[in-house]
Structure 1
């Protein structure tokens, strides 16, 4: 049986893995865009690497974090990051209303994390 410190540490580690999975998902999305339907070899190779990394880190995180919460956070992180970096790096348009809705996604991700922490505290973990 694990101690409360071990449980907290492993959950913290799982959330770090989930954030890395989100970062790699952003890299994957941007690389797929740069690959032009996988016709540019360097971008296609980058997309493959980011894809494998995001799947690895997501699956590692989901060993501890509930799949519904983990997947929502991963997808939200990847979506927001790809939209923001696509705007900055690829000169893709990002309208004020799109920015507002991206902020709503960010708020949702934060609330999911907070709700997970509260649930664990109520369970005594």
Structure 2
């Protein structure tokens, strides 16, 4: 990107914190997308369908911004982890979907895996 061009999300270009912020936003929008798709009933409910499309576009945009700085493997794992855990937990809270103890344990494994993956990428451990 040249000096004459501007970015829609300049914080991601100024440092790693901005990229991680974009990745967290992408994860949050992924949760919104997953819940909206569930509420759309196979895209037959207009309001849920429109919100699903909006959340989908937002999650892709912020994920692409984050992946300018963060390695794809790490970024995708964190994004997918946020999306799956957020959708499972909020689906249980907001949509009365069941969340069993076994499912909760496997979600904990996902969290541990994402944290471990990020720690393995730490410059202190290399």
> Could you say which TM-score interval applies, normalised by the shorter chain?
0.7 to 0.9
Q: Equivalent residue of 2:97, what SS?
A: coil
* Match for residue 32 of structure 1 among 20, 37, 50: 37
Confirm whether residue 19 of structure 1 aligns to residue 47 of structure 2. no
Confirm whether residue 57 of structure 1 aligns to residue 62 of structure 2. yes
Query: How many equivalent residue pairs?
Result: 113
Give the superposition deviation at 1:109: 1.8
RCO comparison, higher one (Cα < 8 Å, 6+)? 1
* Match for residue 41 of structure 1 among 46, 58, 67: 46
Give the superposition deviation at 1:108: 1.5
Residue matched to 1:73: 78
Higher helix share: 1
For structure 2, which runs of at least 5 residues remain unmatched after alignment?
1-13
Q: Summarize deviations over 1:15-50 as a string: whole Å, max 9, x none.
A: 111111000000000000000000000000100110
Residue matched to 2:96: 91
For structure 1, which runs of at least 5 residues remain unmatched after alignment?
1-8
